[in-house]
């Protein structure tokens, strides 16, 4: 069986990790039609047209923040409307028909829709007419969880499927080196663990549910390894961000020990989380394969 390092080197040689490829492969066919090829979704059909949640709208392709919910209004046009954007987030350019002004994400260039001036809907006299499919919504009430359970590819993949999880990022934490690289972490001298940082909506999924899932998608009895991956970067550890998270993690470990599991998972305060290189993000979704060293095992 190939280890993660072998798989990484093999994929690197094949040139799989360009930013453009990463973003495009994450989009469905319909999302590509609108975001990449400047299409338009049917009016009154988008999920955010009548949506009134409080939070931030980000780019579906690159996750850059674009609009605040406080700037959203109902124009009756059939698409989400905003009278202002987050400063610097949206770029305006002439549309192909030379009659309208197109708006795109300033970070990745993804098509959002069109902007219209002078209609008088709000005092700002501006209407950003945006396709819902170009957006993703992040609610104002969120919480962050950080887990390390072996190769972050597999943990990220499996945690990201849980309803209520808004985003999952692979990265490094718990060490001493500032802004470590993957190669440095692989020397096992930086003290970092491969971990995932999860932003979730606590009104949809609880921290306890996520912590239980964490214990059920990796083997918490393995010390400094997970499957074929060996070394302190693959240790089992929970980095809590609140005292309540610490209590929940320690209680779940106690329950597992009563069940006969010799749990070695450490529970420590969260420190700086360094996001891993882009070629580590959404690894299995981009490859279209399943994790090689993580699987679900019911323990609770």
What are the catalytic residues?
129, 151
DSSP-derived secondary structure letter, 134: G
Alpha-carbon span 119 to 138, nearest angstrom: 29
- Rounded to the nearest 5 percent, the helix, strand and coil shares of the chain are 25, 25, 45
The 8-class DSSP code of residue 161 comes to T
Residue 284 and residue 153 in contact, taking contact as beta carbons nearer than 8 Å? yes
- Nearest Cα neighbor of 83 from 65, 68, 101 is 68
Strand spans (E) along the chain: 55-59, 65-68, 72-73, 81-82, 90-94, 101-105, 111-117, 126-130, 135-139, 143-149, 165-173, 193-200, 225-226, 229-230, 236-240, 266-269, 274-275
Identify which of 201, 203, 211, 191 has the alpha carbon closest to the alpha carbon of residue 253: 211
Q: Which residues make beta-bridge pairs with 65?
A: 58
**Spatial distance between the Cα atoms of 166 and 65, rounded to a whole number of angstroms:** 14
Q: Residue 252's closest CA among 195, 300, 285?
A: 300
Crossing angle of helices 207-217 and 243-258, rounded to 10°: 40
């Amino acid at each position: 069986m190939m280890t993660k390092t072998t798989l990484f080197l093999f994929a690197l040689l094949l040139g799989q990790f360009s930013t453009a490829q990463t973003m495009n492969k994450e989009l469905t066919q319909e999302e590509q039609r609108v975001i990449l090829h400047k299409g338009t979704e049917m009016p009154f059909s988008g999920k955010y047209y009548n949506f009134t949640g409080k939070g931030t709208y980000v780019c579906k392709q690159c996750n850059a923040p674009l609009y605040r919910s406080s700037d959203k209004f109902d124009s009756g046009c059939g698409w989400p409307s905003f009278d202002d954007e987050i400063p610097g987030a949206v770029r305006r350019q002439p549309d192909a028909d030379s009659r309208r002004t197109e708006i795109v994400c300033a970070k990745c260039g993804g098509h959002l829709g069109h902007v219209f001036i002078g209609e008088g809907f709000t005092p700002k006299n501006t209407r950003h007419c945006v396709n819902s499919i170009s957006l993703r919504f992040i609610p104002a009430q969120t919480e962050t969880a950080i887990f390390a359970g072996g190769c972050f590819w597999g943990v990220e993949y499996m945690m990201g499927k849980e309803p209520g999880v808004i985003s999952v990022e692979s990265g490094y934490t718990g060490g001493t080196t500032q802004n470590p690289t993957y190669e440095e972490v692989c020397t096992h001298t930086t003290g970092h663990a491969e971990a995932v940082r999860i932003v979730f909506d606590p009104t949809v999924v609880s921290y306890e549910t996520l912590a239980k899932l964490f214990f059920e998608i990796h083997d918490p009895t393995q010390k400094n390894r997970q499957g074929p991956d060996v070394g302190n970067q693959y240790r089992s550890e929970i980095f809590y961000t609140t005292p309540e998270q610490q209590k929940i993690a320690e209680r779940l470990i106690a329950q597992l020990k009563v069940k006969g599991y010799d749990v070695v998972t450490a529970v420590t305060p969260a420190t700086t989380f360094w996001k891993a290189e882009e070629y580590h993000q959404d690894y299995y979704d981009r490859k279209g394969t399943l994790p090689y060293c993580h699987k679900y095992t019911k323990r609770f």
